[in-house]
Amino acid sequence: MDKPSEKKKIPLRIGFANDPFPPQEEKEKKSFQLLSLLNKYDYPSLIFTKSTFLGRKEYWELLHPEISQIQISLSSPYPELEKKIEPNAPSGKERLRTLEILLDQKRNCQLRINLLPQEFLIGHSYEKYLSDIFTLIEERKFPTIINEIIFQDSTNKQESILPIIKEWIF
């Protein structure tokens, strides 16, 4: 029988539906405590966040470069839209700066693009939105993950955004 230390550790996924670093983290440090435990036991993690807490030295020092993975989410390259859809989240600019800090510290992280449905893009065409997202990715040279979305077109037919992305990339 395997010893507990020899068993393969399945990464703990932290955050997804809720951000693991809400404003009260400043006082309560619950996520800091969790990261401390994971660090103590060399336990792997996958962290999804929009927060900038991980850009702080006290936090990123707890993230093991080989077994911790961080994905910082961004939904829009437009600050005015960002404020409407994510009113309590740090700005995209602050999140990108956090990602730069983590990459400078050799942490395993990616920019996670959560594409918005077309109906959220009042005042922006979907092609322009995608072009601006890809321009942001190209300029920053971040490792990037793009979440595909399904949207309704004007004929109420469901369409995948992948063909648009493939056409833009290739």
Per-residue pLDDT of the chain (170 residues; tens, 9 = 90+): 555 556 789 999 999 889 999 999 999 999 999 999 999 999 999 999 999 999 999 999 999 999 999 999 999 999 999 998 888 999 999 999 999 999 999 999 999 988 888 888 888 888 898 889 888 888 888 888 877 554 545 454 445 555 544 444 43
For the segment 43-75, what is each residue's pLDDT rounded down to a tens digit? 999 999 999 999 999 999 999 999 999 999 999
Q: Radius of gyration of the chain from Cα atoms? A: 18
Arithmetic mean of pLDDT over the chain? 84
- Quickly count: other Cβ atoms within 10 Å of residue 6's Cβ: 7
Rounded Cα distance, 81 and 122, in Å: 9
Q: Which H/E stretch holds residue 52? A: none
Rounded Cα distance, 98 and 8, in Å: 30
> Any bridge partners for residue 146, and if so which?
113
Q: C-alpha dihedral over 18, 23, 26, 28, to 10 degrees?
A: -60
Name every residue whose Cβ is closer than 8 Å to that of residue 132 and which is 6 or more positions away in sequence: 77, 78
pLDDT value, residue 4: 57
pLDDT value, residue 148: 57
pLDDT value, residue 6: 62
Rounded Cα distance, 75 and 114, in Å: 5
pLDDT value, residue 158: 46
pLDDT value, residue 150: 47
Helical ranges in 64-146 per DSSP H: 79-85, 92-104, 126-140
User: Check: CATH 3.30.2350.10 for 7-169?
Assistant: no
pLDDT value, residue 138: 84
Only one residue has tokens 């936090």, namely 59
